[in-house]
Chains A and B, each alone.
Chain A
């Protein structure tokens, strides 16, 4: 049998091609064809995803840059207004109010999620409890619910008439009557627990998986040298998973800045704009019940983009980016 690939056609009387005839050209032709096939395969594989990214992500974002220089209500002809939208945006008190609310969420939600996730992940990884696998499922459960479902669930918890929170407080002797936790005084703070509850599950799984990859030998060596629990946690576990913590913090911070689904569902930005966030404000300008202004909304979108890029830069600068090896 010929060791070749039958490249020379099907003529039965022709001498089968062999490597010995012209090995270099033969190999080059084969490699070239393989490369072409490889590239075709690669292109076919990535085209749907990349095409989707171009059409549904990159193109709309580039179009938003264009829209931000227009005044357009989606019906009439757009009008070029230059930087007017940006000038107005910097003077708009509602933009700054929304950003203050975002800042509050940014300094409370990510640290709380990271801290709680780390503690629970550590407990689940390093302590053996009966039913720990059940707890893992329970802790992850909120993550399978959509943000809207979580927000609706918590709106019932916070309800003044029949909410779980008031009932629970009543059980422990704190009578709240018909206090509505999403009302004027407490709405902004009430947004925080559902966001934490909804986020913890995912990061527990991430951190558990990160912790189980730490070689047991490190803990054994530390134990032999008399290291306690706290020492092992702060000198082995946390340093070794610090890159993952850093990425998680970044994702959480970015999500808090641009997300608004829970605010929309829980309070619609109220009462009296008391929980309005920049994403929701932008959304309402473009699609709300008032007059639509896609140009101004796009300008706010550009501001959001700058904020997100700045956040990434700050996290690169301030959060340690060194992975540790032992």
Chain B
């Protein structure tokens, strides 16, 4: 009897341990798509039989020539940001309806960069996503990935005929400047866009009209005058989430260096040097004068005291509650703060001009996250379908969904030229569009095509990042910090030789 009980007890322990191990092994990707037992990727679960070979042509889609009878599952990493997921779900649903042999295994996450970074580090091509957001961790990682041959070149997609473009290519259909603003590495597109993205200063038109403030300053002096008037009226002129100083870069950062270079006539040399990550950089006239502009605003108390403590929500709430007049952020802000926008709030947008030339181009920062990469080490059929999906995202109905539900700024010119469709834009991106129509603008993502692996490069960036708050508050003269950063950058450049 005792022996039997002991045997039973041992078996129970063994069973419990087995169950625990089985539970741990149960794949958990946190996705809404098919699970680990999904159809295998495209090395043909269904081969075309010899008998059917004579009718092979009818087994392909007329639109793209891809086979109908080969099932493909695309692993897709979607950055769940202020745009939400409704529009991308619609895009995937319509794609699946059109091409039933293609399914998606989607991972949504606000921290998709962490997930993508982990998978990249794991270096498992089979586990890696087929399509993933260009919100990837680490500066200049894309250049490293291109160098390692891990990203699929997507330049060809610009020449693809759109599914609903009446025979026009995506490049023909793109909003003017979009192709130029798309980041390229070694002259090739790797992150394909499906939406425009603009950052700058957003404001409440009602507040500006009520106070008679200038809604479209054309020169630096006019902008400074505007901040002084706002300050005199007891309102914070400009706010941004100081916990993440990059938000100040949206309005006064990298793109403005190009604006300064253009005004000085040095863009032809400054830009290639910037892309190639050459030193000196921080203490160049183009960059140091941009920081002097911020310092000047800081000494005028244009930014709120305690700005370093502000989170996204706090700074944007300052704008919505009328405590601040201008917020440095992106066109996603309305959708992001949708539940908190007062009824009488009317979105306006401006790009601060850093030069005294009213006819100068106003440069703006194009933020990351609105583009997608395709992983190169995947089966050919997977890559082809991945590219088809990226083209599909340009369909007008999806662009409309992006505009209405996500607060995005569609990338198609025919959308933007149709007043009926433009009316469907949310107010903030519409304000961006209106500004772009009235002013000469140009966007840039500020990407470099070289990676400096020496830690001094990262230290230089950190030094300037941390100095930004002091500069914005007028307590830190930027020049010594810029020079210090350049000394570090020079060490990094020398180490890379």
Listed in ascending order, the chain A residues whose CB lies under 8 Å from chain B are 5, 37, 40-41, 44-45, 47-48, 71, 73-76, 88, 92, 94, 155, 158-161, 178-184, 187, 267-268, 270-274, 285, 287-293, 296
Contact = CB atoms under 8 A, between A and B. Distances in A.
B9 A41 contact: yes
B20 interface: yes
B2 A5 contact: yes
Contact of A291 (B10, B139, B309): B139
Contacts of B20: 48
Nearest to A47: B17
16 contacts: A5-B2, A48-B20, A74-B120, A74-B138, A75-B141, A178-B323, A267-B243, A271-B242, A271-B243, A290-B458, A291-B138, A291-B139, A291-B141, A292-B117, A293-B453, A293-B458
Given A48-B20, A73-B144, A161-B314, A187 B451 contact: no
Interface in B432-476: 451-453, 455, 457-459, 461-462, 466-470, 473
Nearest to B145: A75
A184 B310 CA distance: 11
Interface string B313-326: 01001100101000
A285 B461 CA distance: 12
Given A44-B10, A160-B306, A73 B141 contact: yes
Contacts of A287: 114, 117, 137
Contacts of B311: 155
Interface residues of B, number: 57
B307 A183 contact: yes
A323 to B, nearest CB: 37
Interface in B9-31: 9-10, 13-14, 17, 20-21
A184 B306 contact: yes
B120 A290 contact: no
B497 interface: no
B140 A44 contact: no
A287 B148 CA distance: 20
Given A75-B120, A160-B306, A290 B469 contact: no
A41 B9 CA distance: 9
Contacts of A274: 308
Which label, helix, strand, loop or mixed, suits the secondary structure of the B interface?
helix
Nearest to A288: B137
Contacts of A45: 13
Given A76-B148, A271-B469, A287-B137, A296 B13 contact: no
A296 to B, nearest CB: 6
Given A184-B306, A184-B469, A74 B455 contact: no
B210 interface: no
Given A271-B242, A291-B458, A292-B117, A76 B306 contact: no
Interface in B223-271: 242-246
A289 B111 CA distance: 12
Contact of A73 (B114, B314, B323, B453): B453
A270 B243 CA distance: 6
Given A182-B309, A184-B469, A268 B140 contact: no
Interface string B126-149: 000000000001111100110110
Interface string B92-116: 0000000000000000000000100
